[in-house]
Structure 1
Amino acid sequence: MTDRTITSDDIITAGRAISLTTTVVSEWAGRGTPKQREYLHGFLTAEHASRTHARHARLLKAARLPTLKSFDGYDWSAIRFPDGYGRDQLTGLEFLPHAGDLVFYGDVGTGKTHLACALVAAACQQGIPAQFHTTASLVAQLRRAKDADRLDKELAALARFPLLAIDEFGYLPIDAEGARLLFQVIADAYEKRSLILTTNLEFARWGTVFGDDQMAAAVIDRIVHHGRLLQFRGDSYRVKHALMK
């Protein structure tokens, strides 16, 4: 219930939010009494909320998150932010409209993966398609697509996500073909979509991942242009809270 009188314009606005035609909504709103308009407005608002919830649920399922994470209770003490950029800008997803990139670099167990997952989940909650991959799983997915002669379709499917998080970059070696496939994803995203890369390797060692310093330099050139580096330092959360001492 609401303390104010629901107007025809209120109902039209609610109807447009769920893709009803203005003509039909306006006609039926004009026929109703104030109480009927209030009822209709409540119905349309509830329908919009239901559709929004369902869309967010679909996006979260498509995100392939290993675990659903949020910013609640997250320990920010291990992170050193770049000048002029902080927690509010990050959690507000201000990098997404500008196809900005993020590199989470630092020690193992300091929250890089957790934060990447939380950002992907936050994007989905805002209705923005986003997806999470480990580097190894993404390369394997691309390799299977290439072997099945559907690489273009796979790349097009990835391109539908305004945000891709690529976790554990540099943790496992990649062969030459895998490096080329990963390069293609990163190059295709440049100035079109946002990437989050988590890694324990400084830029100078990215050539060891690609097996080619020139390819690594081309990746770094794209990432740093519209990107920011967040450095993670500290003791491993898992070690600090391990049962095995």
Structure 2
Amino acid sequence: MSELVSTRIRTTAGKLGLPHLAETINEYTRRADEGKMGYLDFLDLVLSEELAVRDDRRFRQGLRLSRLPHHKTLDEYDFSFQPDLDPRKVKDLATLSFVDGKANAALLGPPGVGKTHIAVALAVAACRAGYSIYFTSLDDMVRNLKAAEAAGRLASKLGTYLRPSVLVVDEVGYQPLERAEANLVFQVISKRYEKGSIILTSNKTFSEWGQVFGDEVLATAILDRLLHHCEVIAINGPSYRLKNRLKAIERETDVA
């Protein structure tokens, strides 16, 4: 391929928003020559790799905007440490059929059992699949909505929690809410109902949510919408964090 044609292709690719093609056209033509590719095979190669690069760029951008605390995957989760947890149930969630159906997932259990790890891993998988995601603790969401309401910007701020395809709400139940705060949570849950998925983690059973939200009727209304289409996984096992801390203490004791 002549340098003139290569330059013209790079310029055109840049105008079409195909930066990877613009940067690698010479590499593509080299591979085509070595593989004696036909025209259609060459076109398939270029388009497939451009799409893969674009998907990866979108994935990395989605993670940056998601506010996830980390990017752990299910491959990093130690199922052997939680023998009562059926890995098949978690891996079924990882197929994202519940996200396709705009349903929800709830992960319940005491602190340290890996609820947030699984929630984040599901969100990462959803982001990889092309869904928009956003992570927040319940306390942070309530605090931000209260501040927006006081400033007359509640409708705008609600959009932060309504726009993503998947909203991860972490640590439901760690702090009790006042009724006005619980009403803000209800607005998010009700407006997302059958329009987007929620993945939540909680250290409280659903029967305790009346205490969490300070109002049994409001808690029932929230649960009614949340659980209508919801996969629930209870993790009742030892704490990963405590396990790691005990190992550290044992090492320190051995050294001493």
Q: Sort the TM-score into its range (normalised by shorter chain).
A: 0.7 to 0.9
Kindly provide the amino acid, as one letter, of the partner of residue 190 in structure 1: Y
Q: When the two structures are superposed, what TM-score results if normalisation uses the length of structure 2?
A: 0.76
Q: Map 1:194-209 to 2 at 5 A.
A: 194-209=197-212
> What residue number does 1:127 align with?
130
Q: Map 1:105-144 to 2 at 5 A.
A: 105-144=108-147
- Per the TM alignment, residue 124 of structure 1 is displaced from its structure 2 partner at its CA by 0.5
> What residue number does 1:161 align with?
164
Kindly provide the amino acid, as one letter, of the partner of residue 178 in structure 1: E
Matched, 1:181 2:219: no
> Percent of aligned pairs with the same residue?
37
Kindly provide the amino acid, as one letter, of the partner of residue 224 in structure 1: L
- Per the TM alignment, residue 132 of structure 1 is displaced from its structure 2 partner at its CA by 1.1
Kindly provide the amino acid, as one letter, of the partner of residue 225 in structure 1: H
> What residue number does 2:67 align with?
64
> What residue number does 1:93 align with?
96
Matched, 1:43 2:46: yes
Q: Which stretch shifts more, 135-144 or 230-239?
A: 135-144
- Per the TM alignment, residue 39 of structure 1 is displaced from its structure 2 partner at its CA by 4.0
SS at match of 1:49: helix
> What residue number does 1:149 align with?
152
SS at match of 1:95: helix
Q: Work out the number of aligned pairs and report it.
A: 215
| Cα distance, 1:103–1:38 mapped onto 2, change above 3 Å | closer
Root mean square deviation of aligned Cα: 2.5
**Higher share in helix:** 2
Mapped partners of 1:109, 1:156: distance in 2: 31
Say whether the 8 Å CA contact 1:116–1:196 is kept in structure 2: yes
Please say which structure displays the higher CA radius of gyration. 2
Paired residue for 2:235, among 229, 232, 235?
232
SS at match of 1:86: helix
Query: Which structure 1 residue ranges, 5 or more long, are not aligned?
Result: 1-17, 21-32
Q: Which stretch shifts more, 139-148 or 37-46?
A: 37-46
Query: Which structure 2 residue ranges, 5 or more long, are not aligned?
Result: 1-15, 19-35, 251-256
- Per the TM alignment, residue 86 of structure 1 is displaced from its structure 2 partner at its CA by 2.1
| Cα distance, 1:34–1:68 mapped onto 2, change above 3 Å | closer
Mapped partners of 1:157, 1:96: distance in 2: 18
Q: Map 1:3-42 to 2 at 5 A.
A: 35=38, 37-42=40-45
- Per the TM alignment, residue 36 of structure 1 is displaced from its structure 2 partner at its CA by 5.2
- Per the TM alignment, residue 40 of structure 1 is displaced from its structure 2 partner at its CA by 4.0
Say whether the 8 Å CA contact 1:63–1:120 is kept in structure 2: no
